[in-house]
Structure formats: structure tokens, C-alpha cells
Amino acid sequence: MLKNLILVGFMGCGKSTIGRQLSKALGYPLIDTDARIVAQQKRSIVDIFEQEGEESFRDLETQTLQDLRDGRCHKRIIATGGGTVLREENQELLRELGFVVWLVAHPKTILERTSRNKERPLLQTEDPAVTIAQMLQERDEHYRKSAHLVLETTSLDFSEITTGIIECARYHYGSQ
Ligand code: S3P
């Protein structure tokens, strides 16, 4: 059984920040799938979307998860891109890799965090608040199907979130 902790959730829900905290608390190295794709491709996500389109980026996400699974990646924190869960194939790969946590944040928090830069091609629209609301609705079932744990983060600070995830992961692995 692969004992990784995998974070899924919408853009700006805190996957990278919480991933870093979990990595520090458990001493497990952090793997950020977006960063891995950028390093392998030697170009930004914006460039990949512009030059080849979203589906090519999704292929790279699937390939990254397959590589982690085939490489028997173990005891890692894996922070994923917000759309990784869209493919059913990826949902299965994520669950094969370990304990999957869906981080849920309030749409206002998402808007605030994601409006700080232009690195997310899917949110460069006329009205990002509307785009976020639509995408959250469309993606809900995909996150739900992928995750072992749904964590509503709005009223929690980062250390509470980290502690909660670690406890739940222990319980999950202990009961298998
Ligand atoms: C995406 C989320 C981004 C990145 C890409 C597409 C999405 O990652 O993978 O821009 O479809 O939700 P973050 O969730 O880390 O911003």
C-alpha cells in the first residue's frame, strides 16, 4: 500500500501552503505536480495552455500521476493542480497513491488568493467570481469521488488543518 498524503481542491484552496506544513510536520518530501510538469516541460503552465491547449496539460497531469504510481512513490505529500480530478482515470490513480484530502475553501477566499497573479489561465476571464462559481459547481462531484476526506478549511487555521489531516490519515491507514 502506498502511504502518500494527497491534496486535491480548487485553485487557491491552500494545497501548496498546507502541503509545505504537512511536509514539515511529517518529514515527508513535498511533490507539487504543477511544479513537476513545469520543470519537465521547461515552460510555464500559461505557455503549455497557450501553445497546446488544456487537454495536453491534462495528459501531462495523468502522466505525472502514472509516473508516481509506477515509481512506487511512498511517504510523500503530493499537492495536485485544481483540475487533476477531472479525469476519472486520475481519480483512480490518486486513490492508488494514498490518502486523498479535498480542501474546501470559500469562493471569496479563492477569489482573493487567485487574483494576486495571472498564472492561472482558466481564471483569466472577464468576471473571475462568476467563473469560480461555475467551475466549483462543475467540479464538485469530481472532488467528491476522488477524496477519502473532505475538509472545510474556512474556520480553521493552517496548524489545525495540518493536525486534522494527520490524525485522519493515521485513522485511515490504521483501519485498513
Ligand atoms: C488548474 C489549476 C492550477 C494548474 C492549472 C489548471 C485547474 O493549479 O494546474 O492552471 O484546472 O484548476 P492550482 O490548483 O495549484 O492553482
Specify the CATH number for the domain of residue 109: 3.40.50.300
Alpha-carbon distances of 37 from 24, 133, 175, rounded to whole Å: 23, 27, 34
Q: Which of 8, 10, 11 is the pocket-test mutation for ligand 1 (most atoms within 8 Å of CB)?
A: 11
Rounded to two decimals, the pTM is: 0.97
Query: Are 28 and 77 in contact, with CB atoms under 8 Å apart?
Result: yes
Residue 111 belongs to a domain: yes
Give tens-digit pLDDT for 67-121.
999 999 999 999 999 999 999 999 999 999 999 999 999 999 999 999 998 999 9
pLDDT of residue 174: 87
Number of separate domains in the chain: 1
pLDDT of residue 1: 77
DSSP for residue 14? S
Structural domain including 130 reads 4-170
Instruction: Compute, in angstroms, the gap from residue 155 CA to the centroid of ligand 1.
Output: 24
Instruction: Compute, in angstroms, the gap from residue 123 CA to the centroid of ligand 1.
Output: 9
Q: Quick one: which of 152, 36, 29, 51 has its CA closest to 101?
A: 152
pLDDT of residue 176: 65
